[in-house]
Amino acid sequence: MSRPLLAIDIGSSKISVVIAEEKNDGIHIIGSGVAKSQGVRKGTITNIEQTTRSIRQALGDAKRIAGTIPSRAIISISGAYTRSINSSGIVNVPQQEIGIKEINRVMQTALYNANIPNEYEVLHVLPYNFKVDEQEFIEDPYGMNASRLEVDTHIITTQKSNLSNLKKAVKSAGIEIENVVLAGYASAISVLNDDEKELGVCVIDMGGATCELVVHSGNSIRFNTFLAVGSNHITNDLSMALHTPLSVAEKIKLEYGSLRAPSNDLIEIPVIGDDNENHEISLEIVYNVIQARVQETLMILAKELQKSNLRDQIGAGIVLTGGMTKLDGIRELAMAIFDNMPVRIAKPRPVEGDFEALNDPAFATAIGLLEYGAGGYTQYEIDSNRKMIHKKEPITAGEGELPTVHPHADREEKKEQPLTPPDAKQTLADRVAEENKETFGQKIKKMWHWMTQIF
């Protein structure tokens, strides 16, 4: 039995569409498409019509390969205009046993207690610490006996207008939305292993126009932030410094871009406005431009990590992913800027299907969206639909309250209400009828005796 999955990663430089099937042995990719992103600037929709056109193009390419396309998609949203807050909740446990219903209730309480502005919409409610009675740092309270349950949650929200524009662009392309996932969260799902999550890790997705930073500690995300700088800014810097067209600057970045020791070699490049005139430039200038931009970007991200107050809790160090990480020497520069913390360049985990091109840091978010759809989220979560999703049992549709199913509930009810044999039921009915008949006869007899005495 397979289930179709559709992931749409709406980035500032490209829109990636991946079609897959979730089977018993994992995710099987059957189609993919990529289109240049238009109408998206620094992670936000600036032109719905252009964005819809780009999404349709990527969908069309993916459909031609897969032969079909699901009607509902899991889409990404950038960290632009997001706001994150921490909130806690506490509930009593009347039955003395913690089930899905109690976990959902305490998380909904934490969401209710959060001071979320009216113009913001919830994307994720992620619990990072449970407390059962007086015991703290409970990894999973499910099935425990307790009289009180507490939770600390990290709540990620985004502006309603930003989310509405994104949904409108996708729906205009003919696709319904199953769920919306923060891009940095999706990237973390696809590149992190269990040890890194347990030790604590900082994931930085360095894309074309944005950088998404997520701190994952223990069971969940603890901190996330966004920087509107990416590899396209390097292209712009090279174009301005070398006085050459953007297309030429992009080729120079891809072919000669390096953060290692500079070279004094000379290359010829065309001049802006005159394709017939070339001039020579030194690769040392290229190195200096790229070095300055990447170093500034990493230093800003290091300061953001310091602001999180979680630097001491990331024992696994830094994990870099995204297209910008293909720059030669970026790992060594990051280690120096992050005070010699361990740094790893990560690709998304490989999935089944003959699509080697997707095994690239630039597609970490798209693959993470597929894994999210296949259950790769945290063990408990309130998603963008305000519904709780979890891994304990199949998700049931409802208004938030998910009942705890006990496997022997039917047996217990039958014990409390023993079956009555048909003969016994018939005998009881006859007895009641006879009693009613005798009572009615007695009343007639008394009335006749009373009337004879009067007349």
Of 138, 158, 178, which residue sits at a domain end? Answer: 158
Give the pLDDT confidence score for residue 417 in this predicted structure.
Answer: 37
pLDDT of residue 394: 45
Q: Does residue 276 share a domain with residue 135? A: no
pTM for this prediction? 0.83
pLDDT of residue 113: 96
Whether the CA torsion 199, 76, 224, 40 is positive or negative: it is positive
Residue 47 in contact with residue 151, Cβ under 8 Å?
no
The reported pLDDT for the residue numbered 162 is 94
If asked whether residues 327 and 265 sit together in one domain, one would say yes
Quickly list DSSP for 309-349. T-GGG-TT-EEEESGGGGSBTHHHHHHHHTTT--EEE--PP
In a domain, 153, yes or no: yes
Same domain, 215 and 134: no
324 in the same domain as 219: yes
Domain count, the chain: 2
User: Per residue in 63-101, pLDDT tens?
Assistant: 999 999 999 999 999 999 899 999 999 999 998 999 999
What distance in Å separates the CA atoms of residue 80 and residue 64, rounded to the nearest whole number?
A: 32
Task: Report phi then psi at 212, rounded to 5.
Answer: -110, 125
CA distance 183 to 395: 23
List, for residues 160-169, the tens digit of each pLDDT value: 999 999 999 9
Give me the residues of the chain with pLDDT under 70, please: 1, 275, 393-455
* CATH number of the domain enclosing 239: 3.30.420.40
Q: What is residue 413's predicted lDDT score, i.e. its pLDDT?
A: 36
pLDDT of residue 448: 52
CATH code for the domain in which residue 139 is found: 3.30.1490.110
Domain of 138?
Answer: 84-158
- The pLDDT, as a whole number, for residue 453 is 43
Counting Cβ atoms within 10 Å, is residue 335 exposed (0-12), middle (13-18) or buried (19+)?
middle
- Residue 318 within any structural domain of the chain: yes
Torsion of CA 154, 158, 159, 165, to 10 degrees: -160
Domain end point (choices 330, 345, 360) = 345
Residue 450, in any domain of the structure: no
